[in-house]
Structure 1
Amino acid sequence: MHLAYHSRKASSAPPFPRGAKMPGLRRSRLKVIALAGFALLTLLYLVTKPNGRHTPYKEYTPSGRPPVVVLTVLDEAKYSSTYLEAIKENRIQYAEKHGYKTFFAKVGDYDMNNAPSSWTSVVAARHVLTQFPDCRYLWFLDQNALIMNPQRTIEAHVMDPARLDEGMIKDYPVVPPDSIIKTFSHLRGRDVEFLLTQDKDGLSSGSWVLKNGEWARFFLETWFDPLYRSYNFQKAETHALEHIVQWHPTILARLGLVAQRTVNSYSTGDHGEAYQPGDLAVRFIDCSTPSACEKEAEPYIAQSRAAFQSS
């Protein structure tokens, strides 16, 4: 008897039972792999190409043009135009002699959000660094002050690292006489970015020097914090400065405290070190009224003009 021949079915299922869907899935995976490979090749190209090698972060160093900007804030509502013109003339003569620039801000130039007008000095300093991004130093000098020695420069006589190493006041209370926070004993002149003086009452914010750079911008942003401006400090920005210097080690680590007569002699010795001939600048400290301040300034204006004429 012959049995009819029947083809035997395969003993296993087809390898792709869902053949209609697998090609699409495979294409999707291949696309992902291709994109990943392209991204990797692009990264390798950017890293290894001759002009595109990765370089470590480097802080921008201003070129020093101009070397110094002298900043003064003028209050036209309180002081006579004659007095303010004498102050401007003094700064301009000094700047022209040394290749510096001047910047005259006015009370009312900036929106202070109801903060005391004395805060203008801080926001004006920020403005200076925007206008002169390559300056090396910013010297803020109060309007009630005059530059008396045209021969002295900020670079050589104030901020020179070797001179700072000799003259900095170290391991001393930041706010005398009882502050437990003291200036760093190991600070070197080359590390100073903010130069300041004290008087008999504490830190004096009427004359200071700031080295331009990223640290300077951090410092000014910290000082101008809205919290400090809204706080009812008795001496506004001066007491805010005393606070941040004492409680922010990052700022204290760059603070160079120097003898008052370096940049900030007073017209009398009642509140601090009195001016002596040869000092860089003098501030009229007993300005009970604008008219009294202008009268006190008269002999110094004459002396400073004579000094510039003979220099």
Structure 2
Amino acid sequence: MSSFRNKQTQDIAEPIRKSPAPITDSPSSTESDTAHQDLALLTHLERLDAIRNKANDVLEPKGSRIVLLSASDGQGHNGAITDLFKNMKENREEYCAYHGYTYQFINLSKYAPLTRPAVWYKMPAILEAFNLNPSAEWVWWLDTDAIIMTPQIDLASHLLNPESLKARITYGEKIKYPDGSASKFTVPESINTRKIDIILAQDHNGVNAGSILFRRSEWTFQFLNFWQDSQFLSMNFSRMEQDALNYIFMNYPRMQDHFAFVPLRTINAISVGQSGMGWLSGDLVVHFAGCWVTQECDTRWKDFWSRREIAGQPSESVVYFNATEINENRAASLQAANLDSASK
């Protein structure tokens, strides 16, 4: 059993395997935005060159301080999606080129022999992404079965800048157990958004780790090592690493100040889902989680692929979560939490 369990008075007790490399200044774009080109007539590499750094993002973090990470061993439920990896690579490289982010793909087969299901190698892949990209302040893990639908959205103004994050957090909303029941835990109003290390969302089954962001810190490196500890693998969680993350959050409350929960549609809207979960025009990303249950993965993927916005071209979408809506949602969450507490 991990030494962590014997030191519950500490936030993190596991020694990290590698120290995070220092953050260096990212290059800034000096190019002025030019007239939009007909990107459809260009090859993929030509499109990347045509749109590189053209977003001219202002807020920090930006540029090479952000890494978009995808990883796979080529297996899993998504084999039915035609040209999945080709489309995914194109979609994410264009998004990263436009904003100056770094796109990183890691083949999980490199960790062979795979002695556990591939999802448990998410943690070493994230650690490796930090080590491969020493200027990265944030790593965004995004499952392969997801499409960035509105690439005009930059992550700093959408989420990663502390002031942006403050407006996104679902304060007062109770964190769910994997069976969908509500726990007693919420994200408090007093949380310091400048010290958040993990940004994630929950669906009807609790934590959904298909889209999750990690900030470079000593705590994050230690946490990633702890999360993949064999003690959690031996618990045989039905949703494996996701339920393990849920379990850690619920049972190690001293860690909770490092977590920020945001609405699912902020970073992980699903292709078909109930209100507040299913993708709507203007949402950043659509995730095809669960599409294999009804054998609709390829059909849904082709539909959304045809509707995605193209990086570097004018957007026709109205981006979800404008400031007024954010504040209204936040007030509603707090009111619901207060009413729930008053009824007990």
TM-score by length of 2: 0.67
Deviation at 1:116, TM superposition (A): 1.4
User: CA offset at residue 170 of structure 1?
Assistant: 2.3
Identify if the C-alpha distance between structure 1 residues 284 and 168 changes in structure 2 by more than 3 Å, giving closer, same or farther. same
- Measured in 1, the distance between the counterparts of 2:276 and 2:292 equals 17
What's the offset of the Cα at 1:286?
A: 3.2
**Residues 267 and 275 in structure 1, CA contact (< 8 A), matched pair in contact too:** yes
Structure 1 residues 247 and 274: CA distance shift in structure 2, 3 A: same
The alignment partner of 1:307 has SS state of: coil
Report if the CA contact (8 A) 1:193-1:210 is conserved: yes
Who is 1:73 aligned against? 71
Give the residue type in structure 1 aligned to 2:98: K
Runs of 4+ aligned residues of structure 1 deviating over 4 Å after TM superposition are none
Q: Is residue 110 of structure 1 aligned with residue 71 of structure 2? A: no
Q: Is the 8 A contact 2:199 2:260 kept in 1?
A: yes
1:32-64 deviations in Å (ceiling 9; x for gaps)? xxxxxxxxxxxxxxxxxxxxxxxxxxx976235
Residue pair 2:82, 2:298 contacting (<8 A) in 1 also = no
2:186 corresponding residue in structure 1:
182
**2:175 aligned partner, one-letter code:** V
Q: Do the aligned residues in 2 keep the contact of 1:199 with 1:272 (CA within 8 Å)?
A: no
Inter-partner Cα distance in structure 1 for 2:92 and 2:147 = 8
Count of aligned positions: 252
| 2:209 counterpart residue number | 205
Question: Structure 1 191/243 Cα, relative in aligned 2: closer, same or farther at 3 Å?
Answer: same
CA drift at 1:174 = 2.2
Change (3 A) 1:93 1:150: same
2:195 maps to a residue whose letter is: D
- 1:308 Cα deviation after fit: 2.5
Contact 2:145–2:287 (8 Å) recurs in 1: yes
How far, CA to CA, are the matches of 2:294 and 2:234 in structure 1?
Answer: 26
1:134-183 CA distances to partner (integer Å, 9 max, x unpaired)? Answer: 20110011111011111111222111211222221223322253212333
Task: Classify 1:87/1:101 alpha carbon distance in 2 versus 1 (closer, same or farther; 3 Å).
Answer: same
Residue 241 (1) aligns with residue 242 (2): no
Q: Is residue 99 of structure 1 aligned with residue 97 of structure 2?
A: no
1:218 aligns with 2:222: yes
Q: Does 1:308 align with 2:311?
A: yes
| Per-residue CA distance 1:92-125 (angstroms, 9 max, x = gap) | 1011111111111224221475221111222211
Matches of 1:64 and 1:290 in 2, distance apart? Answer: 47
CA 289–107 in structure 1, closer or farther in 2 if over 3 Å, else same: farther
Question: Is 2:275 the counterpart of 1:267?
Answer: no
Shift of 1:217: 0.5
Provide the secondary structure at the position in 1 that maps to 2:86. Answer: helix
CA contact 1:74–1:84 (8 Å) conserved in 2: no
Letter in 2 for 1:159: L
- Answering whether residue 289 of structure 2 is matched by residue 285 of structure 1, we say yes
Which one has a bigger Cα radius of gyration? 1
In structure 1, the residue matched to 2:120 is 119
Q: Distance in 2 between matches of 1:290 and 1:132?
A: 39
Contact 1:219–1:251 (Cα < 8 Å) also in 2: no
Shift of the alpha carbon at 1:75?
4.2
Q: Which moved more, 1:121-130 or 1:242-251?
A: 242-251
The alpha-carbon distance between structure 1 residues 206 and 188, as it changes in their structure 2 partners (threshold 3 A), is same
Ranges in structure 1 where 5+ consecutive residues have no aligned partner: 1-58
Say which is worse superposed, 209-218 or 76-85, in terms of deviation: 76-85
Instruction: Give the secondary structure class of the aligned counterpart of 1:114.
Output: coil
| TM-score when normalising by structure 1 | 0.74
Once the two structures are overlaid, the 10-residue window that deviates more, 207-216 or 86-95, is 207-216
- In structure 2, the gaps of 5 or more residues are 1-19, 27-63, 315-344
Distance 2:166 2:176 in 1: 21
Q: Secondary structure at the match of 2:83?
A: helix
Residue 67 of structure 1 aligns with an amino acid whose one-letter code is R
In terms of mean alpha carbon deviation, does 178-187 or 200-209 score higher? 178-187
Q: What residue number does 1:276 align with?
A: 280
The letter for the 1-side match of 2:116 is: A
How far did 1:83 drift?
Answer: 1.8
